[in-house]
């Protein structure tokens, strides 16, 4: 527990510091390019802790670490301006738009760069994730079973996206609790249209249709003393059938074992290109959540490792970030439509939990992958047309360009004040949701 907390604290400070530094460097570089005087470059908000002054800029670390800012001369509506050429407001609107865009642009560029590096060095992922969406198992009573989806069906279209991989299919379903998800599936020579309404699952209230990917059932771990080990099965064996029925996923075999209980099961396995039959008798055990389940003591988590050349890695990174950007925008749209819960959003506590988990994995690439995702989210979030954010500044500049005059200072002040209050309330709600997920019993006490 103490180790997990340590990794979470250290990793979240490292990740957020990099995200903020890169974002503010974008604003800083663009401002310097156009000759705008930068008074403060701060990592964090509030009181100055440490720093140094070089030229006209105070580089500092401030007491509140979750954020940062670049203070440009004459930038704020509340600033007293002399009208000098070094002031932000003295520059053409298009230059101010470029300065505002530079921060989010740097975060998006960082996401592309990090993911490119991960794809080049060591991208380890579940084997099925980037494969064609062939169904391996359908949970009994699930939304998918209710509309007649069967193991072996291939999802050839979800919404308007054709030939999706499993990563895209699962992401779309998770973002669609209680909402219609239109599928076209291939079953033999037939193409069938299905509409699934995923159910809500877990603390984050994500959508779950009960679909499990088809993938080879390759034994990756075995428990000593359990039935599988006693039968002579080995790591690397592929289980292809159980009692003559095809095994397409871990869940399908687990479901069969709960039905057969303590009766022997004949497993057909493939080893070194040859098929052999092995008889095992499931053993009743207690799972981590306290349930009594029948098991044979094996685990199948086959993974694939990509190491791509630079051009392929860059192309794949751009494609992945583009897909993830569209999913982020769809999530926000569904939240505004109240079709998904705000609980799907992660605040600083949630980010710390996730980064801590990835920081403990072997190598740097898992943490770099999650950093890329956070950087992309930060870049897109800052482009939303909300005053105080970069997107809000861009919106006001575009409005001024259309009406061909500046919006009055009192109106700008009221807009920024209202936006600040709304942003604080939103941040408080997200942090409260974070706390409800990690503090035992808090959900019960607030209901």
Q: Are 297 and 226 in contact (CB under 8 A)?
A: yes
Give the separation between CA 307 and CA 363, rounded to whole angstroms.
14
Give the separation between CA 108 and CA 33, rounded to whole angstroms.
20
Segment holding 409, helix H or strand E? helix 409-438
Alpha helices in 163-263 (DSSP H): 166-174, 227-230, 250-260
Give the separation between CA 119 and CA 113, rounded to whole angstroms.
10
Give the separation between CA 153 and CA 183, rounded to whole angstroms.
11
Give the separation between CA 64 and CA 43, rounded to whole angstroms.
9
Which is nearest to 348 in space by CA: 65, 26, 54? Answer: 65
Strands 292-295 and 283-286, sheet pairing: antiparallel
Give the separation between CA 336 and CA 163, rounded to whole angstroms.
29
Is 346 tagged catalytic? no
Torsion of Cα atoms, 41 then 43 then 48 then 50, to 10°? -90
Single out the catalytic residue among 24, 75, 167, 346: 24
Residue showing tokens 């209202």: 418
Strands 238-242 and 245-246, sheet pairing: antiparallel
**What are residue 306's DSSP bridge partners?**
123
Give the separation between CA 166 and CA 186, rounded to whole angstroms.
15
Torsion of Cα atoms, 398 then 401 then 407 then 411, to 10°? -20
Question: Would you please indicate which residues are annotated as catalytic (active-site) residues?
Answer: 24
């Amino acid at each position: 527990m103490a180790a997990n907390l340590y990794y979470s604290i250290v990793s979240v400070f490292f990740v957020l510091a990099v995200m903020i530094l890169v974002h503010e460097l974008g604003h800083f570089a663009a401002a310097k390019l156009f000759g705008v005087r930068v008074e403060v470059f701060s990592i964090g908000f509030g009181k100055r802790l440490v720093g140094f002054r070089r030229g006209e800029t105070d580089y500092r670390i401030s007491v509140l670490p979750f954020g940062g800012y670049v203070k440009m001369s004459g930038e704020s509506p509340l600033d007293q301006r002399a009208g000098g050429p070094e002031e932000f407001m003295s520059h053409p609107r298009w230059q101010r738009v470029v300065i505002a865009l530079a921060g989010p642009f740097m975060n998006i560029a960082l996401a592309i760069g990090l993911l490119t590096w991960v794809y080049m060095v060591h991208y380890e992922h579940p084997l099925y994730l980037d494969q064609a969406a062939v169904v391996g198992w359908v949970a009994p009573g699930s939304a998918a079973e209710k509309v007649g989806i069967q193991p072996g069906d291939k999802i050839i279209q979800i919404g308007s996206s054709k030939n999706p991989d499993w990563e895209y299919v699962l992401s779309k379903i998770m973002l669609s609790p209680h909402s219609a998800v239109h599928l076209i599936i291939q079953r033999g020579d037939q193409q069938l249209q299905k509409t699934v309404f995923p159910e809500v699952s877990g603390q984050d209230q994500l959508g779950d249709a009960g679909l499990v990917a088809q993938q080879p059932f390759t034994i990756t771990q075995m428990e000593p003393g359990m039935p599988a080990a006693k039968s002579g099965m080995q790591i690397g064996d592929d289980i292809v059938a159980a009692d003559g029925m095809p095994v397409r996923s871990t869940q399908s075999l687990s479901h069969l074992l709960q039905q057969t209980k303590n009766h022997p099961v004949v497993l057909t396995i493939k080893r070194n290109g040859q098929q052999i039959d092995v008889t095992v008798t499931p053993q009743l055990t207690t799972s981590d959540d306290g349930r009594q389940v029948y098991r044979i003591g094996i685990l199948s988590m086959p993974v694939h490792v990509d190491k791509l050349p630079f051009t392929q890695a860059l192309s794949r990174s751009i494609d992945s970030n583009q897909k993830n950007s569209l999913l982020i925008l769809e999530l926000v749209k569904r939240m505004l439509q109240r079709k998904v819960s705000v609980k799907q959003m992660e605040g600083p506590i949630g980010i710390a939990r996730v980064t801590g988990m990835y920081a403990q994995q072997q190598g740097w690439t898992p943490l770099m992958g999650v950093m890329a995702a956070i950087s992309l989210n930060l870049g897109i979030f800052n482009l939303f047309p909300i005053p105080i954010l970069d997107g809000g500044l861009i919106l006001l500049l575009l409005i001024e360009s259309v009406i061909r005059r500046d919006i009055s200072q009192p109106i700008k002040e009221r807009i920024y004040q209202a936006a600040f209050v709304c942003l604080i309330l939103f941040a408080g709600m997200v942090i409260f949701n974070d706390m409800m997920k990690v503090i035992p019993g808090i959900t019960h006490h607030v209901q």
